[in-house]
C-alpha cells in the first residue's frame, strides 16, 4: 500500500486512498478502539493506584498508551460501537430483575438449608439444555447470571449454546432456560 502510494505521488496523482476501500474505515475504527481502551485503562490506573501526582499520572498515561496501542484489538474484537449505548441501557433494565431473582433464590436456598427434612429436599443434579442465544456476550451473560443465582452453577457452556448447569434441587432448575434467557436475548440481540 505504501509503495503504491509512493508510485502514484511520483506520477503526480493524489495519494489519498479510495473512499470506497475498507482501509480508511479500519484505521478510524482502530483509532476509536485505541482511544476507548486508553480511557478505560487510565481510569482503572487512577482508581487502583491512588497516586495523583504528575509523575505517576505521566507513567500511567505512557503505560496505558502503549498497552492501548498494542492490545486494543483484543479488547474490542468485532464490537459495533454504535450498539453499545443501547445495550448498556437494556442491561441496566435487566440488572434489577436479576437482583430480584438472586434474592428469591436466596430465600429458596435458605428454606432448603433450615428445613427439618433438608436431606430429602436437596436433590443435586446436572441439567442440560440448548440456548437460542447466538452472541458470545449474551452466552457469557446468561452463564454468569445462572451462576450468580444461588442454587445453580453453570458447569459448561459452548459457543453453540449448549449448557450444563448444576442445580441443588429440581425447583432451582425448573425455570431454565426460560425467562432469564428471554430477557438476555432482549438485551443483546435487539
* Residue extents of the structural domains in the chain: 2-79, 82-188
This prediction has a pTM of 0.63
Task: Answer yes or no: is pLDDT of 11 > 60.
Answer: no
Question: Strand ranges (DSSP E) for 13-151?
Answer: 125-130
Residue 166 pLDDT grade (very low, low, confident, very high; cuts 50, 70, 90): very high
Place of cell 480511557: 39
Q: Which has the minimum average pLDDT: 74-83, 131-140, 173-182?
A: 74-83
| Residue 118 confidence (pLDDT) | 86
User: C-alpha 152: how far from its chain's center?
Assistant: 21
**Nearest Cα to 101, choosing from 190, 181, 188, 187?**
181
| Average pLDDT along the chain | 80
Under DSSP, the state recorded for 16 is: P
Task: Answer yes or no: is pLDDT of 83 > 80.
Answer: no
Amino acid at each position: 500500500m505504501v509503495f503504491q502510494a509512493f508510485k502514484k505521488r511520483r506520477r503526480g496523482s493524489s495519494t489519498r486512498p479510495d473512499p470506497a476501500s475498507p482501509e480508511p474505515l479500519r484505521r478510524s475504527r482502530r483509532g476509536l478502539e485505541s482511544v476507548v481502551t486508553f480511557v478505560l485503562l487510565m481510569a482503572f490506573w487512577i482508581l487502583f493506584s491512588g497516586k495523583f501526582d504528575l509523575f505517576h499520572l505521566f507513567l500511567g498515561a505512557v503505560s496505558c498508551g502503549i498497552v492501548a496501542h498494542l492490545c486494543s484489538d483484543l479488547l474490542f474484537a468485532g464490537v459495533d460501537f454504535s450498539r453499545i449505548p443501547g445495550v448498556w441501557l437494556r442491561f441496566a433494565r435487566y440488572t434489577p430483575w436479576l437482583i430480584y431473582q438472586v434474592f428469591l433464590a436466596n430465600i429458596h436456598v435458605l428454606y432448603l438449608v433450615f428445613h427439618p427434612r433438608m436431606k430429602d429436599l436437596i436433590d443435586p443434579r446436572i441439567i442440560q439444555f440448548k440456548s437460542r442465544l447466538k452472541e458470545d456476550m449474551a452466552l457469557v451473560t446468561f452463564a454468569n447470571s445462572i451462576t450468580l443465582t444461588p442454587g445453580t452453577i453453570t458447569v459448561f457452556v459452548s459457543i453453540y449454546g449448549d449448557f450444563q448447569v448444576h442445580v441443588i434441587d429440581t425447583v432451582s432448575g425448573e425455570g431454565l432456560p426460560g425467562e432469564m434467557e428471554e430477557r438476555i436475548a432482549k438485551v443483546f440481540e435487539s
